Amino acid sequence: MKKYFFLGLMGSAVFFNSCSDTVENEIITDPVQQRTLLSKITTVYYDNPASPQTTVSTLEYNSQGQLIKTLSEGRSSINEYDSSGKPVKTNYYKTDGTLEYYALYTYNNDQLQNVKAIYSDTNLNRTINYTYSNGKVATSTLCQTANCSNPSISSYTYNGDNITVETSELGGTITFFTKNEYLYDNQLNPYTFTNKYFRIMMGGAYALSKNNYTSEKISFKDSAGNWVPNQNVVYEIQYNNAQLPTQVIGKSLSGANYVKYNYEYITQ
């Protein structure tokens, strides 16, 4: 799993900020008409095994099951919706409570077309554009300039409802390519009951796929254009009675810890 991918909306905040620094729309319910909603994510990163880094993110909902507020590391985001339940604006706040930037959502009927991050310094503004194939996200393009020069592009290949290959092109003065290949279980994803537009904005195989990937092969493209294997990660997953993951531990083939996620849920 991508290391920045620890939370939906805050994950998007990291996505926008990092660039400046270098399910369905309706609520799905279970058979007894209770909503199972992701409420807390605890992530441990093992980039430095001697000193793992832990982040905790919490999600708050209204009585309709709409994600209203996200908190992570002192930062927060607050979402606004239209009458049909589509998110239309997200405000992102700094640790001191002041507004850092806001995101606006644009739709073509029921398809999310782009998300624009608007800063007080317009030089920091960012836009993510989406394309679709057979109703699924095919590409997401991050534009860091008004004319979208040197964009960063993620492309997705599916097998059924799961992304099996994710290819990323990091734009800039030096273009860098990575490829992630996945194998899956047959259980529900932690984000199964999350608003589909937030899943699109979060991006990546874990948010967009139906199931949980159990292995990840990471490669990069060398100067000759060849894909060079870089890392293999295997994920051990524990589930609750609703078939949702409660803990995911990623390890290298040597057994070294890579990342750990703990998921907590509420029902409404």
Give the fold, CATH level 3, of 8-267: Porin (2.40.160)
**DSSP class of residue 27?**
P
pLDDT single digits (tens) 187-200: 999 999 999 999 99
Query: Is 90 exceeded by the pLDDT of residue 215?
Result: yes
What is the pLDDT at residue 109?
A: 94
Provide the pLDDT for residue 246: 98
Distance CA 66, CA 86 (A): 10
What sign for the dihedral angle of Cα 225, 227, 230, 236? positive
Instruction: Please tell me the least confidently modeled range out of 43-57, 75-89, 147-161, 165-179.
Output: 165-179
Average pLDDT taken over every residue of the chain? 89
Two structure tokens written together for 6: 């620890």
Q: Are 10 and 55 in contact, with CB atoms under 8 Å apart? A: no
Is the confidence at residue 28, as pLDDT, over 60? no
Q: For the chain, what percent of residues have pLDDT higher than 90?
A: 84
> Rounded to an integer, what distance in angstroms lies between the CA atom of residue 217 and that of residue 230?
8
The residue assigned the tokens 């608003």 is 195
Mean pLDDT of all residues in 168-186: 93
Band of residue 76 on the pLDDT scale cut at 50, 70, 90? very high
Could you give the count of Cα atoms lying within 13 Å of 36 in the half-sphere of its Cβ?
Answer: 21
Q: Could you identify the residue written with the tokens 């097998």? A: 159
**Annotated domain spans of the chain:** 8-267
Q: Model's pTM, two decimal places?
A: 0.87
pLDDT of residue 33: 60
pLDDT of 262 higher than 60: yes
pLDDT at 18 > cutoff 80: no
Task: Read off the tokens for 225.
Answer: 């254009």
Helix ranges (DSSP H) in the chain? 8-20, 196-202, 204-208
Average pLDDT over residues 133-148: 96
pLDDT of residue 173: 78
pLDDT of residue 217: 98
Residue 34 has what pLDDT?
Answer: 81
